Structure 1
């Protein structure tokens, strides 16, 4: 009697199918965008058609599938899938709206306010000096800080560059000159208590950033301040929905790539999120 010690899944491994929770319209739009890019750069051949490449990239972004697993199931190398993901993310990030243009678009539509919030995207723990820079004492984790603006319905308008997790939200907004650009178009932003002190306008200027009242140990909130905080919290609730839509992309569950590439990744996901929400 001979022994058969070969693996159950065979030499090529198991291949399974899974549902991708995205619309067909988003897939077709991304495939057309990739076809146009390939035609522009004169790429006459790829290992897989544009539609299949778009499906693989969306599986990496939406379901956080490992490139190596997708590569084995499609007969290509892992580095090829990684290169496709980087290429498509770069195309999408280039279509992300700029801050000044996003604010001008809201002002032209007659909007008066935008919603402002920040969130930390978790990353793997870095080594050396990068370890301390990316650690957020507020959230007790390693991550990257991202600032986002939404309209009054929670639709994402703009996301900032990804900065080290120890950066405060006020510092990130001042780096992007947010209050100055809000005043230039005549808009106001509603934010939470983490942005108290961001608006450094004069006493006679209209506030560009509206926040609630922060209580202190020896200065509790008054009877009029508590209802004001409750009303502002209700108004700014849709911005949480905007971040929730963005974090539906599981690749943001814990970013394992170089933080320098995270800005392009988040802006690419902003474009895809708006496509999904608007359909």
Structure 2
């Protein structure tokens, strides 16, 4: 049976949400990272396969007839390409240039018991910490490796490599990150006077800016692999990194 899905404009834009020129940039990144090894499918078709898998969360058996290949070949393509779609390293601070980032954690349901844990969303989930730029573009700057979902955000932050990534950069977070050097809202202490008017205004501005990371999570979770990840081992980490890459491509001009 001939392959139904090809890396053509109609299939790319319908199946992935990426414009064809941005999809071409994605293919170029994968090629430069060593993804041009010959297979039964051309590289653009293989990148499309992985993107469709992340976008729809279809199983290998469901994806196979769409591309005219076997489920085993689909699995090999996904396993091979998923690390090549990883997010670029966060840019280093530039002297004299002030930057502002926002961090927050999100719970992603997983099937792998070695990655997740029973969490407050009443599902077996992993906690993924994500940093975005505070500017209006809402680009993902970095993400940490998944941690069990029963761990607090501040604990996961401290154990991740994100503090080193964010060194020299101001980072906004919510009140659960109190006491670890991030910019958090003012809190009223028990038995203490109410917050001053200026502190209330600071908190309002803090909420307004920090809401951008929640908006980014909504867009990222349009990729259904992040609503119920069946991947094992590094599969979730690779999925988050790849989705962040495609999220950034979709937002850039």
8 Å contact kept, 1:156–1:274 = yes
State yes or no: 1:136 paired with 2:119. Answer: yes
Match of 1:90 in 2: 83
Does the CA contact (< 8 Å) of 2:220 and 2:247 recur in 1? yes
Alpha carbons 2:57, 2:224 under 8 Å: kept: yes
Gaps of 5+ in 1: 1-11, 200-208
In structure 2, relative to structure 1, the CA distance for the partners of 1:56 and 1:180 (3 Å cut) is closer
Q: Distance in 2 between matches of 1:169 and 1:150?
A: 16
Q: For 1:254-265, list aligned pairs within 5 A.
A: 254-265=228-239
3-state DSSP class of the match of 1:111? coil
Partner SS state of residue 244, structure 2 = helix
**Candidates 119, 135, 139, aligned match of 1:155:** 139
TM-score where L is the length of structure 2: 0.81
Structure 2 matches for 1:66-215, cutoff 5 A?
Answer: 66-93=59-86, 96-98=87-89, 101-102=90-91, 104-105=92-93, 107=94, 110-124=97-111, 126=113, 130=114, 134-137=117-120, 139-153=121-135, 154-176=138-160, 178-179=162-163, 182=166, 184-185=167-168, 187-199=169-181, 209-215=182-188
Checking the alignment, whether the CA contact within 8 Å between 1:114 and 1:149 is kept in structure 2 is yes
Paired residues of 1:214 and 1:221 also in contact (CA < 8 A) = no
1:65 to partner: Cα distance:
2.3
Q: Which moved more, 1:142-151 or 1:107-116?
A: 107-116
- Residue 23 (1) aligns with residue 5 (2): no
The 2-side partners of 1:69 and 1:180 are apart by 41
By how many angstroms is 1:219 displaced? 5.7
* 1:35–1:190 CA distance, 2 compared to 1 (3 A): closer
1:28-63 CA distance string (max 9 Å, x none): 233344555354xxx4x4222222222222111112
Shift in alpha-carbon separation, 1:275–1:109, aligned structure 2, 3 A: farther
Query: Contact between 1:136 and 1:142, CA under 8 Å: does it hold in 2?
Result: yes
TM-score by length of 1: 0.74
Structure 1 220/47 Cα, relative in aligned 2: closer, same or farther at 3 Å? farther
Cα deviation, residue 68, structure 1 = 1.1
| Structure 2: segments with no counterpart, 5+ residues | none
Aligned counterparts of 2:84 and 2:176: Cα–Cα separation in 1: 33
Deviation at 1:192, TM superposition (A): 0.7
Question: Which is worse superposed, 210-219 or 65-74?
Answer: 210-219
Ranges of 4+ aligned residues in structure 1 off by more than 6 Å:
15-18
Classify the secondary structure of the residue corresponding to 2:63: helix
Indicate if the aligned counterparts of 2:111 and 2:232 stay in contact, CA closer than 8 A: no
1:234 to 188, 208, 213: 208
Q: CA RMSD in A?
A: 2.9
Aligned length: 240
